[in-house]
Amino acid sequence: MSILNLIAKLQSSADSFEKNGNTAAALSYAAKVQELLTKHKLSMSEVDTETLNQQDPIGQEIIDPPHIRAGQKAHYWVSTLASVVAIAHYCKAITHIRSTKISFVGRKSDREVAVHIFEYLLYICQLECLREEKKALTKKGFRASFRRAFALTVHKRYQAQMKAPASNETERNALVVSSEKSVVAWIQSNLKTKNNKSSGINNLNFEGLKAGERSGETVKLNRRGIKRGPVSSQIR
């Protein structure tokens, strides 16, 4: 048993005794926990992270979005949207070089939600882009402009949500930072990555930008608002 696992087990016992009203035993176990933390120069956040790594391990899920052409210029808006959703759910999105595939890396519980929401947003973006294009007076550059505005608007909404204070802000932030470090460490150990070059778009279409912005402002982002199952059955 590793020292982190031992400390976690002792802390669990201390919490259990305290809950049951056995203060003396709880204090005894808590003192042992503090002794080991000091001796091995560890913190409880490291212990909590190790426990979380075992209960909710970090891994990757590779997805290949349908109906997306290979090539950086055509794929850039998809990787941008994937990155936005991944970060909002404490994951990282890695775009495969010369491929439409994207890896979502993070804890299993976070990754599952991020992938499902990304697939939903991708579907909505594609569907509404085609719908709105039919109404546009100017077609040139409409789709690229719509998709770009949609992804950026979703990004702004997620940023606003993440800035909202939570009741357990200090504890939540500590676990989030710890998880982010664990995710980055997993990527560095298991994947070969390369920075994706920024790809702007030519021929910006004002109608496309406004339509993409409107769609991005109203699309569902809450995990409770998006049901499990095929995204094609969840069109608002």
The pTM for the full model equals: 0.70
Task: Output the CA–CA distances (angstroms, integers) from residue 59 to 112, 115, 183, 189, 195, in the order listed.
Answer: 11, 13, 8, 11, 20
- Residues 90, 141 within the same domain: yes
Q: Which of 84, 79, 224, 80 has the alpha carbon at shortest distance from 157?
A: 84
Q: What is the pLDDT of residue 233?
A: 42
From 32, 54, 76, the end of a domain falls on 54
- Residues 159, 215 within the same domain: yes
Q: What is the pLDDT of residue 114?
A: 92
Extract the tokens encoding 81. Answer: 């949207």
Q: What is the pLDDT of residue 147?
A: 92
Residue given tokens 């569902």 in the structure block: 220
From 14, 30, 54, the end of a domain falls on 54
- Residues 229, 146 within the same domain: yes
From 54, 78, 94, the end of a domain falls on 54
Total domains in the chain come to 2
Residues of the chain with pLDDT under 70: 1, 67-75, 164-202, 223-236
- The rounded distance, in Å, linking the Cα atoms of 232 and 236 is 10
| Domain that includes residue 131, residue range | 59-233
Extract the tokens encoding 77. Answer: 């808006």
- Residues 86, 171 within the same domain: yes
- Residues 46, 76 within the same domain: no
- Residues 192, 103 within the same domain: yes
Q: What is the 3-state secondary structure (H, E, C) of the chain?
A: CCHHHHHHHHHHHHHHHHHCCCHHHHHHHHHHHHHHHHHCCCCHHHHHHHHHHHHCCEEEEEECCCCCCCCHHHHHHHHHHHHHHHHHCCCEEEECCCCCCEEEEEEHHHHHHHHHHHHHHHHHHHHHHHHHHCCCCCCCCHHHHHHHHHHHHHHHHHHHHHHCCCCCHHHHHHHHHHHHHHHHHHHHHHCCCCCCCCCCCCCCCHHHHHHHHHHHHHCCCCHHHCCCCCHHHCCC
- Residues 14, 112 within the same domain: no
Q: What is the pLDDT of residue 236?
A: 38
Q: What is the pLDDT of residue 85?
A: 93
Cα 126 vs. chain centroid, distance in angstroms? 21
- Residues 86, 45 within the same domain: no
pLDDT in tens, 105-116: 998 889 999 999
- Residues 137, 196 within the same domain: yes
- The rounded distance, in Å, linking the Cα atoms of 22 and 219 is 51
- Residues 155, 193 within the same domain: yes
- Residues 198, 92 within the same domain: yes
- Residues 12, 64 within the same domain: no
